[in-house]
Amino acid sequence: MTTNTTENTVSTAAPLLEVKDLEVAFKTQQGEVKAVRGVDLTVYPGQSVAIVGESGSGKSTTAHAVINLLPGTGKITGGSIKFDGRELVGAGAKDIIDLRGKEIGLVPQDPMSNLNPVWRIGFQIKEALTANGVDTKQRRQKLTDALVEIETTPSGDDLYLGHEGKKALITALGNAGVDEAAVAAADKALQVGSTTRAQAAGILESAGLKDAEAVAAEHVTGASATDRVAGLLAEAGLGDAERRARQYPHEFSGGMRQRALIAMGLAARPKLLIADEPTSALDVTVQKKILDHLEGLTSELGTAVLFITHDLGLAAERAEHLVVMYKGKVVESGPSRQILKAPQHPYTQRLVAAAPSLTSRRIQSAHAAGIETDELLASHADSGAQKRGDNVVEVKNLTKVFRIRGSRPGTGTDFTAVDDISFGLPRGTTLALVGESGSGKSTAANMVLGLLQPTAGVVEFDGQDITKLRGRKAFQFRRRIQPVFQNPYGSLDPMFSIYRTVEEPLRIHRVGDAKAREKRVRELLDMVALPASMMRRFPNELSGGQRQRIAIARALALNPEVIVLDEAVSALDVLVQAQVLTLLNDLQAELGLSYLFITHDLAVVRQIADKVCVMQNGKIVEQGPTDQIFDTPSQDYTRELLAAIPGASLEIGPEVPAV
Amino acid sequence: MAWYAARRLLQMIPVFIGATLLIYAMVFLLPADPIAALGGDRGLPPAVADQLRAQYHLNQPFIVQYGFYLKGLLTGNLGTSFTQRPVADMLAQAFPTTLKLASMTLVIEAVAGIGVGLWAGIRKGGIFDATFLVISLILIAVPIFVIGFAGQVLFGVKLGWVPPTVGANVNFKTLLLPAFVLATASFAYILRLTRTTVVENRNADHVRTATAKGLKPGRVISVHVLRNSLIPVVTYLGTDVGALLGGAVVTEGIFNIPGVGNLLFTAIKRHEAPTIVSVTVFLVMVYLISNLIVDLLYAVLDPRIRYA
């Protein structure tokens, strides 16, 4: 985090990016729709600014307008964008192309779709070097020469170490009789394409070489574009960079792809980096590592960063300055801490009150101060009558092994998705199954739902082993446990009206006649706080939050005892998420439901769960009451997960700002 | 990949047996007596007819005939036609012609279809796009014999640019018009397919990222849009290669080209069971092999494909 002093110094300098009264409109069949309506935004050199807002607030559109990446139907209809004193609105196509990559870099949102699947990673990064004229050392030299004049760097000190140069340096170390451990350490520290001559001299010296500077000057003579690509990947935190550069995107995990995209965005050392939700698609621990790395890298290079994010906690933690957008307008902007402490605009106030990462942080500081936290929690409705102390679902030694087909006959391997897990879900409470992608939590949920046959172990529902149920008994069992899935856009049949969607389970289970069923559907819609007039509409007419309410109504139709919520609020905006969590809590108190809550988001868990099971690689590494897990975690992995919740480093008190 | 290719080749065995049996049975069940037809209006002397029936095992039950046929195939004998010419010889004469015609057609439809489709996709909604969408619709709607005859009359007879028919004179110039005619329908499909995938890929996230890197528009199109867009087009071309090598009965008929299509058509007219079955089986194998080759080439275009 940058201190206040830098904040003060940058504000006196000339702004790097100055957006004034920006208006962007999209052409649609209903006519022009204004997505951005008069946005003002200033980024100073080296400063980090975050635009925070929910989906549809115009935050990404604003960022894309800066580098003219609006889709075909979008157009800047007013205002001005000044970058380094130059006006970009109405600038020629060539000027914008020159600017992209070289002066303004972009780290896009979804690492899965933002790399071209048919080209090697290295090729795609090298393209960024070539396009911006920094691919060969001669072309780079011009740039560094210009820098040398301004800064007081001795000439040649910023040449990069090449492939051949590294070999020569290691040989030189060996010849000088340096011991093996030191050579190995130097081998690790010297990064082809990233280590400069000055750094190399330092590394050689600490390895114990006498004439380190002369040796470095002899062998560090600049890197080829391929070497530089490896260097960039290494700088972005990717190990074994030279080999990785030769791989294709599908051979990379999400986090590795995001690192490659960061390497790409920073390849030509831009002055401003636009990071558009750079880690939203990643697991929290990976998210933290990448953001930490990005922060270190940009502060070292002096790059200004414009974050685009929906997560207020993350924004406040990573940026000095916040710009809160709502419906295309900036509703509030100012230093991060000030906005968190005293939000002025009602929307910001609601956002600050609802953000799970902040609430989680508040609970933590409340506990530290010894304050009761019930008003901060969405859950813990003590419906004492319901708590008979028995477990409605009891999972014992559950295991699921998948067979993965090999490339040739007989080379298939077994993959254990869920490895010998046991837990109990007490009646009328919420149990959270927490883990990162691939931890086996959804596989476990599918087995509890009876949708997947376990390889070993039992799932007992009310004392009955459901893995052995067949035919009519299995059918009857399904009434008692119902799912709500993550993506409300995919889990509702677009061809079914809302009425048909909610009524379908009743019809399948032959509950009542048509009239009784209609009455029940009205009742259910009322329960999830939707008007009965919604019945005749179709999913595409509904917002994400409304759809998720429909999914909950459908799950409730058969009066189940247990609802499995598989990432049920993860796809929703913060405020909608808070509403749905409150709804779930009210329903639990009213109907005595038990929830099995599957999520990767620990901040949400803190608000809703009574008990937590932390899963890693198919195993439960730790389980216990929520407060115990959060306050005194016993496993390193749990601690790592907790530390990764955005906003963990923020200093905020337990009090919720007045709304 | 070797395992994949081996498995695909093994899969051809049941296909081969199934295809021969099915075709043989269909020809066997045709309600006509080829030997009687051979004699024309006067009819053959009974002794000669009997001798011919014995030679072709026509007096044996179906399964025995099929057995004899399979045995012949396995020893490299594709059988002889009723006019005493070995089927293998006839294929050896007709197939190169079809191969020439097919490769010319393929080049024309691929180059024109991808080129026009790419341009139409980039300028989506423009005049060029609209014009070619209409043209492609017409080409798909009009039957190939209409296009064939129209082309023959216009370019062959009226304008005299190319010879109206091919006959024994098979070369690049004579095959040019038939190749264009044969390419029309696939050209229209390839155009539409390319256009759709180009439009789709132009809006892909990774293309926006490529633009944000500072690449020039031309490079974004050629490196990041075109190659990705070609993947579904190559799939279509793959099936088309098989179809083209199978001979184009109608087009070969119109332009009197002595290719495989013509050979098969003549054999069917004459009820020559050995010729029909052998030629068809040959075509089935050509189809399977060309598809396998295209599937293997696919990996060159798309590195995500793993052969397992």
Task: Give yes or no for residue B114 having a pLDDT over 70.
Answer: yes
Closest chain A residue to the Cα of B209, Cα to Cα: A114
Beta carbons of B104 and B110 less than 8 angstroms apart = no
**pLDDT higher at A582 or B116:** B116
Task: Give yes or no for residue B195 having a pLDDT over 90.
Answer: yes
In a domain, A233, yes or no: no
Show the low-confidence residues of chain A (pLDDT under 50).
Answer: 1-11, 150-153, 379-387, 659
Residues A452 and A573 in one domain: yes
pLDDT score of A381:
45
* Most confident option among A3-12, A155-164, B38-47, B152-161: B152-161
Q: What is the pTM of this model?
A: 0.80
- pLDDT band at residue B208 using 50, 70 and 90 as cut-offs: very high
Provide CB contacts within 8 A for B32, sequence distance 6+.
B271
**Given CB atoms, is B89 within the 8 Å cutoff of chain A?**
no
pLDDT score of A361:
65
d(CA A632, CA A493): 44
**pLDDT higher at A178 or B133:** B133
d(CA B225, CA A153): 42
Q: What are phi and psi of A594, to 5 degrees?
A: -110, 135
Probe site for chain A from B205, B209, B224 (most A CB atoms < 10 A):
B209
CATH number at residue A593: 3.40.50.300
Residue that terminates a domain, selected from A559, A574, A600: A559
Give, for A363, the enclosing helix (H) or strand (E).
helix A356-368
Residue that terminates a domain, selected from A303, A325, A354: A354
Q: Which of A332, A275, A336, A340 is nearest to A309 (CA)?
A: A275
E-state strands within A167-207:
none
Q: What tens digit of pLDDT does each residue of A42-58 get?
A: 999 989 999 998 877 88
| Percent of all residues in chain B with a pLDDT value above 90, rounded to a whole number | 22
Q: How many Å from the N-terminal Cα to the C-terminal Cα in chain B?
A: 8
Residue that terminates a domain, selected from A559, A590, A606: A559
pLDDT score of A43:
93
Residues A568 and A551 in one domain: no
d(CA B52, CA B270): 15
Count Cβ–Cβ pairs < 8 Å, chain A vs chain B.
Answer: 94
In a domain, A365, yes or no: no
What are the start-end ranges of the H helices in A190-283? 197-207, 212-219, 225-235, 241-244, 254-265
Closest chain A residue to the Cα of B301, Cα to Cα: A118
Q: What is the DSSP string of B4-42?
A: HHHHHHHHHHHHHHHHHHHHHHHHHTSSS-HHHHHTTTT
pLDDT score of A20:
92
In Å, how far is B222's CA from the nearest CA of chain A? 13
Q: Which of B211, B212, B303 comes nearest A118 by C-beta? A: B303
d(CA A282, CA A288): 9
Q: What are phi and psi of A235, to 5 degrees?
A: -65, -35
Number of Cβ atoms within 10 Å of the Cβ of A511: 16
Closest chain B residue to the Cα of A67, Cα to Cα: B212
Burial of A144 (0-12, 13-18, 19+ CB in 10 A): buried
Residues A381 and A450 in one domain: yes
Residues A521 and A579 in one domain: no
In a domain, A240, yes or no: no
Contact A115 B206 (CB under 8 A): yes
Contact A127 B212 (CB under 8 A): no
Residues A457 and A565 in one domain: yes
Burial of A516 (0-12, 13-18, 19+ CB in 10 A): exposed
- In degrees to the nearest 10, what's the CA dihedral of A247, A253, A258, A261? 20
In a domain, A123, yes or no: no
pLDDT score of A44:
92
Contact B228 A116 (CB under 8 A): yes
Residues A287 and A164 in one domain: no
In a domain, A381, yes or no: yes
pLDDT score of A612:
92
Q: What is the largest CA-CA distance in chain A?
A: 93
In a domain, A243, yes or no: no
pLDDT score of A411:
74
Closest chain A residue to the Cα of B122, Cα to Cα: A72
Residues A25 and A110 in one domain: yes
Residues A348 and A261 in one domain: yes
Full strand arrangement of the beta sheet holding A17-28: A31-43, A17-28, A74-83, A86-87
ipTM, two decimals, is: 0.78
- pLDDT band at residue B31 using 50, 70 and 90 as cut-offs: low
Report how many domains make up chain A.
Answer: 4
d(CA A135, CA A223): 9
- Pairing between β-strand A430-434 and β-strand A456-461 as defined by DSSP bridges: unpaired
User: Which token pair is A332?
Assistant: 């509030």
d(CA B148, CA B249): 12
d(CA A520, CA A148): 76
pLDDT score of B138:
92
Residues A451 and A509 in one domain: no
**Which residues of chain B neighbour A115 with C-beta distances below 8 Å?**
206, 209
Contact A108 B209 (CB under 8 A): yes
Instruction: Tell me which residue range forms the domain holding A305.
Output: 16-118+248-354
Residues A392 and A298 in one domain: no
d(CA A146, CA A566): 55
**pLDDT higher at B54 or A114:** A114
Contact B214 A116 (CB under 8 A): no
pLDDT score of A9:
45
Beta carbons of A544 and A573 less than 8 angstroms apart = yes
pLDDT score of A106:
93
| Domains of chain B with bracketed CATH | 2-74 (no CATH), 90-301 (1.10.3720.10)
Q: What tens digit of pLDDT does each residue of B237-247 get?
A: 888 888 888 76
Residues A585 and A545 in one domain: no
pLDDT score of B42:
67
pLDDT score of A653:
60
Residues A422 and A540 in one domain: no
Q: Which of A49, A63, A42, A53 is nearest to A2 (CA)?
A: A49
pLDDT score of A10:
47
Average pLDDT, chain B: 84
